[in-house]
Amino acid sequence: MKKRRELDAKLREFGCALGLEETDVTRAKRTAKNVITMALLTVAFAVFGQVMMPGGPSGLYYTGASVKDFQILFGGWV
Amino acid sequence: MFRKRYTPISVVWETTLNCNMKCLHCGSSAGESRKNELTTQEGLSLCEDLKKLGTRLITLMGGEPFTRKDWHVLAQHIRNLGMNFTIMSNGLIIDEKIVSQLIKLDPYAVAISLDGGTAETHNSIRRVDTSFERCICGLGLLRRANLPTTVVTTVHKQNFKELPIIRDFLLNKGIAWQIQMANPVGRFPESLMLSKKEFYSVALFIASMRKKYSIKELPLMGAHNFGYNSKILPNITILPWIGCQAGLTAMGIQSDGGVKGCMSLPDGFVEGNIREKSIADIWNDLNSFSYNRNFKKEDLNGECKDCKHGRRCRGGCLTVSTSLTGKPHCDPYCLNLIERKMISV
């Protein structure tokens, strides 16, 4: 509990520079839902993305990802 | 003996080093054209050779790619060959004529640099007094034409606090937003680079905004140098980091024909020139891109040496690593490392 409070305080300190409020900082933390969503996205990318996204994995990192990449991966703004 | 086959799926082509801006953070020190840049005919042949190698996406960048008079000839050829293209511009000379050409060419993305939420900041970074106004005008033209538009913001000490203003501008506009960190290469001085604490603040901002807004409201992502392996934050790039792709699925081509694994790498990483050797021979050479193709866990340096993610991560961004430490495979701007050192996780 103490460790969590210390972590939250540290994150709030980091968030201050960009005007993030306490709720913004709390919201930013990873949750189980994030981990599961990312795992599902990775599987979706491995199955469909390699073919549907012309830039492949490097296209997503280096070249200014397209709105189309978001649409393909997140199924039309899901 | 079995040899792994690599495909340059995504190629970034610096079509010219000529630029109508002199940006503070430019990693290529763009301004004047390189001596002996590729001609139109050489560019067209290059596209054909890339198609044969399996390339699917070519990113036309500069300098400023729209200053090259034949940019649309090259883009059309890419499309005729069945490949996609993205174009990365500073937005200064985008007008209705360019937008109408883009509509016909159907790009995968048109990426525009926006480095400040205010004219004062953007113009001082870009060193052109009217650049903010013209960039915003260009974005409006692209948006009205329904072209897939991306804003790229390169953050450093002079502008990172304006991210909330840029966010407010981009909200609900259907424009993708990529945030990347300026590295001390080219013209950018190391003194203006984000501190690790500031870097983490930006990562926190990206993570928070991705939770606060839906993808429809704000399609936001951190670029390849915004990671990696955080224990506290969710993934802030589109997909989890799978290691630097230079020479594996990515390739960079300079305007004079020099070939590198990634355009942001310094000139020491040029593997050959397409005027001296075919691009297929350079790409398929057993000795090319060995920093990634022959990577072993023992190649990790610095604080990445004992990291459990090292084999997959390969020490983060090669450009950040070499520019800051002089060594590959030890990018110190790592969320996991910062958390261990500054947040004691």
What pLDDT digit, counting tens, does each position of B82-112 carry? 999 999 999 999 999 999 999 999 999 999 9
Number of domains in chain A: 1
Q: Confidence class of residue B3 from pLDDT cuts 50, 70 and 90?
A: low
Cβ atoms of B307 and B167 within 8 Å: the answer is no
Range of the domain at A70: 2-74
User: Would you state the structure tokens that stand for residue A61, as one six-digit string?
Assistant: 């990192």
Q: What percent of chain B has pLDDT over 90?
A: 93
The residue count for chain B: 345
Contact yes or no for B150 and A62 at CB 8 A: no
Segment B51-64 mean pLDDT: 96
Out of B10, B205, B214, closest to residue A56 by CB: B10
Segment B224-229 mean pLDDT: 88
Instruction: Give the number of C-alpha atoms closer than 13 A to the C-alpha of residue B109, restricted to the C-beta side.
Output: 33
Contact yes or no for A64 and B86 at CB 8 A: yes
User: Would you state the structure tokens that stand for residue B119, as one six-digit string?
Assistant: 């004219």
Q: Confidence class of residue B33 from pLDDT cuts 50, 70 and 90?
A: very high
- A63 vs B contacts (CB less than 8 Å): 10, 12, 57, 59, 86, 88, 109, 111
Amino acid at B46: L
A15 touching chain B per CB within 8 A: yes
Cβ atoms of B270 and A70 within 8 Å: the answer is no
User: Would you state the structure tokens that stand for residue B259, as one six-digit string?
Assistant: 């070939």
A44 touching chain B per CB within 8 A: no
Q: Given this model, what pLDDT does residue B2 score?
A: 59
Contact yes or no for A61 and B245 at CB 8 A: yes
B84 touching chain A per CB within 8 A: yes
Tell me which of B72 and A58 has the higher pLDDT. Answer: B72
Q: Given this model, what pLDDT does residue A78 score?
A: 45
Rounded-to-integer distance, Cα B227 and Cα B343, Å: 16
User: Would you state the structure tokens that stand for residue B331, as one six-digit string?
Assistant: 């990018």
- A43 vs B contacts (CB less than 8 Å): none
The verdict on pTM exceeding 0.90 is: yes
ipTM of the complex: 0.87
Segment B312-338 mean pLDDT: 96
Pick the range with the lowest mean pLDDT from B142-146, B162-166, B188-192, B341-345.
Answer: B341-345
Helix B96-105 × helix B71-80 angle, to 10°? 10
Q: Given this model, what pLDDT does residue A52 score?
A: 73
Tell me which of B227 and B101 has the higher pLDDT. Answer: B101
Tell me which of B183 and A59 has the higher pLDDT. Answer: B183
Q: Which residues of chain A have pLDDT under 50?
A: 78
Amino acid at B92: L
- B240 vs A contacts (CB less than 8 Å): 38, 42
Question: Strands B258-260 and B272-273, how do they pair?
Answer: antiparallel
Q: Given this model, what pLDDT does residue B4 score?
A: 77
User: Would you state the structure tokens that stand for residue B276, as one six-digit string?
Assistant: 């001296």
Interface test with A, best of B58, B151, B195, B215 (most A CBs within 10 A): B215
- First-to-last alpha carbon distance for chain B, in angstroms, is 45
Segment B312-316 mean pLDDT: 95
Q: Given this model, what pLDDT does residue B345 score?
A: 63
Instruction: Judge whether residue B330 has pLDDT over 90.
Output: yes
